Chains A and B, each alone.
Chain A
């Protein structure tokens, strides 16, 4: 089944926002703060620029509330009095000639009274200065199960560890961009590269104090997102719309790569501490987990990222007793945000590194420690969610070991590593990923999906779910076609436009195939039922009979539409206060195996083979599903070994593709993808979420393999040649290495 928008993409005809030009259009640019924190004293418009040619917008021009409405309204659209991070937007400029904007931006100088700034989790925790709220803390969670305090005395071993993960740039190849137009009568229209049309819609209503019918958001073809176009488009859309309102002309803002990397969101840096009580035979008796993320200067989505990291912190294991304390803290960096995995890759990196540590202390193998602690059907997770699905993680692990030839390789590498200039190792990671919004999230979203039939017998799916490469268009059309018994070609999907499609929620959290897909299935069935009930269609119909039915119904009633709204499964219970209950409607499960070579001359690590085995319910579209896994694994290999954000005073210093290194075609191993199918009652045709899962496992599997190769316990990623050099050069003989936290000023 070919990708719906595929032909446009392979012929170069697909229209992205920068490919669109409106008559009389201006270009917009942003003047940003150069310091981490301070009071704005004065703004000077320098000489050498004819300022009459430019449209200038400041916070004073905002008709509504000066904030990017999301969860807490703490982030201004334009800083007016104080700045809280480098690259914070202060002024907007527009001009017909794009090259003339750079000089103008450089000619604006801003005087500040600097204030003390915080740049690491530890600095924020010390609270030597308060930069947000009363304690620099955006959000905390506490999960308690059983009686952790009682387990320590029973423990044969107490295993402790601290694990760090760095920031990561989404690095979609298409930078953030929008075009906005303003009309005093009809309001604001925005065309953009974005994931969540209704997030932008809500933010613009607040910023402009406009009712919902006077804000229109249209998603253009979107050149990659990965979470990086979840919340930031609201900011850039607000900026372009303010310039459009003031100038009376359409305004395009498309960031260049340097601006995009420096100013927009990244994956939250994290620190996880484990203290685990383990029995003599390597079983987890209980433990404490502390998980902390750096949220940057404003709250944005940190509380939700923290939530997912919290729930995934215990991995796919059975914890009879556990206490998980987590927090998101403020620093003076641009806000960190959504990125594929959303907190889970961070806390699962810690869990899966820690499992290898537990194995060492207990004197058993990495395979055996996992086998002895795996969750089983009928047991409960850390939030006391009973696993009702029929899962067999032991079998999944066994299969992954076979596919990767783990046992033989592990033995062979141990023999071969005794000599030579290269060391080889193999590592595993077992993990899970919850699909859909956490806990009560889907109930709050209350998503609505539509399907509309045409008199020619074709059906159009109406959702706000965005296509940005993952295959939304294709999979949702496929689900509707199956539900209606129509050929795939007879079903299309509307371009997400808030005047055309209902709010089916954001395109995030691996929720589209499972949650939205299920609603598409219901809406499509609604069309069939309408026709059946009115006697226009009988069982076992042909597409031609369906067409005749549609034609007749529409001739009589004007239109044939059907909507479906989310209904929480009756057995789902969630307590937001105690963070207890059914965290997700379904989990995907996986075991990944990485094989690496460490070069002792260059201290570089290469991944030689990668096996990704997962159970994701029914695989709706094998080619798209495999593409999600290979793409996610590649990003996670970057997260583990290459992608290092260099910080200085809260500013990214390597904001270019030249010195922020993502994997290229020569850098990746064969990524071998395998699925085990297992029906899941919740999703459309038994599908579970898939998009984020592959981001979780590769980093710990790779670092576990590096430890297998070198015997050194690395606990921090990205793991760079510098770190290996420090640890492996002869004069350094310590077995435990915690590389210095990056990003300290």
Chain B
């Protein structure tokens, strides 16, 4: 269950989500995850554990990869948030999505949006990541279906595609 919001009244917060300015009325301690999903209808970020272990709720906040279940909306005020829904224009998105499909990187799919965001974040920093880089870059995202091998393969393949393009 979501943490009870503080007894304080709702406040207005402004931030940019997927390139659009948004104002929301929320309790300051409300989780960014809930604001994205419930107030803004962006359901690509998922709740897996609610305590920052699984990474299914990953979003980019001012270009940092964060668990949106651990960010109170007050902390997101004035920031630039990007969710999986806002990634379609990113140059890495298509190669990653295609590689995930080809290599079997998505099974049940619940970790996939977070996994792809983490992979994008990694490939933005590293042009040609080693397997160790990939393992480390995805260490905050749990997958119970694949055993990760096909995800590593998909990320490596997307990186190679970018290099050859």
Contact = CB atoms under 8 A, between A and B. Distances in A.
A631 B1 contact: no
A19 B2 CA distance: 16
A102 B96 CA distance: 40
A521 B102 CA distance: 25
B142 interface: yes
B49 interface: yes
Contact of B47 (A15, A18, A172, A671): A18
A500 to B, nearest CB: 22
A389 to B, nearest CB: 28
B60 to A, nearest CB: 13
Nearest to A634: B147
B1 A172 contact: no
Contacts of B37: 19
Contact of A3 (B1, B49, B101, B116): B101
Contacts of A632: 147
Contact of B49 (A2, A29, A102, A257): A257
Interface string A659-683: 0001111101011000000000000
A331 B4 CA distance: 35
A627 B144 contact: no
Given A19-B43, A623-B104, A658-B53, A99 B5 contact: yes
A657 B147 contact: no
A387 B33 CA distance: 55
Chain B residues touching A, range: 35 or more
Interface string A10-26: 11111110110000000
Nearest to A105: B1
A223 B146 contact: no
B20 interface: no
Nearest to B118: A665
B44 A98 contact: no
Contacts of B28: none
Contact of B101 (A10, A18, A664): A10
A226 B146 CA distance: 12
B46 A16 contact: yes
Interface centre among A98, A257, A469 (most CB of B within 10 A): A469
Tell me which of B48, B100, B135 has the highest count of chain A C-beta atoms within 10 A of its own C-beta. B48
Contacts of A6: 100-101, 106
Interface stretch (B9-17, B73-81, B107-115): B107-115
B150 A627 contact: yes
Interface in A67-125: 98-103, 105
A256 B109 CA distance: 18
B101 A173 contact: no
Contact of A173 (B54, B85, B134): B54
Contact of A223 (B83, B105, B108): B108
A468 B83 CA distance: 24
Interface in B122-157: 134-136, 138-139, 141-152
Contacts of A326: none
Interface string B72-103: 00000000000111001000000011001111
Contacts of B83: 12
B101 A7 contact: yes
Given A626-B150, A665-B141, A469 B107 contact: yes
B56 interface: yes
A18 B45 CA distance: 11
Contacts of A578: none
A489 interface: no
A624 interface: yes
B139 A665 contact: yes
A174 B53 CA distance: 13
A5 interface: yes
Contacts of A226: 144
Given A174-B108, A627-B107, A665-B138, A10 B100 contact: yes
A369 B27 CA distance: 66
B62 interface: no
Given A9-B106, A103-B4, A256 B142 contact: no
A627 B146 contact: yes
B51 interface: yes
Contact of A469 (B47, B134, B145): B145
A78 B97 CA distance: 44
Interface residues of A, number: 64
Given A224-B108, A256-B50, A172 B144 contact: yes
B19 interface: no
Given A223-B109, A470-B107, A662-B142, A623 B150 contact: yes
Which of A13, A16, A663, A665 is the most central at the interface, judged by chain B CB atoms within 10 Å of its CB?
A665
B15 to A, nearest CB: 19
Interface string A175-217: 1000000000000000000000000000000000000000000
Contacts of A102: 1-2, 4
A671 B147 contact: yes
A630 B49 contact: no
A329 B67 CA distance: 42
Nearest to A222: B108
A16 B108 CA distance: 10
A668 B139 CA distance: 11
A471 interface: yes
Given A174-B46, A223-B108, A657-B142, A630 B150 contact: yes
Which of B4, B83, B85 has most A Cβ within 10 Å? B4
Interface string A310-339: 000000000000000000000000000000
Given A103-B4, A623-B150, A657-B53, A666 B135 contact: yes
Nearest to B5: A99
B110 A656 contact: no
A171 interface: yes
Contacts of B116: 10
B108 A11 contact: no
A8 interface: yes
Contact of B85 (A12, A98, A471): A12
27 contacts: A2-B101, A3-B106, A6-B106, A9-B106, A10-B116, A11-B84, A11-B97, A12-B112, A15-B43, A18-B43, A18-B47, A99-B2, A170-B144, A172-B110, A173-B110, A173-B111, A173-B142, A225-B108, A623-B103, A627-B107, A627-B150, A630-B149, A631-B145, A631-B147, A635-B147, A662-B142, A665-B148
Interface of B: 1-5, 37, 43-51, 53-54, 56, 83-85, 88, 96-97, 100-113, 116, 134-136, 138-139, 141-152
Given A623-B103, A634-B147, 5 more contacts: A99-B4, A256-B47, A469-B145, A666-B139, A668-B147
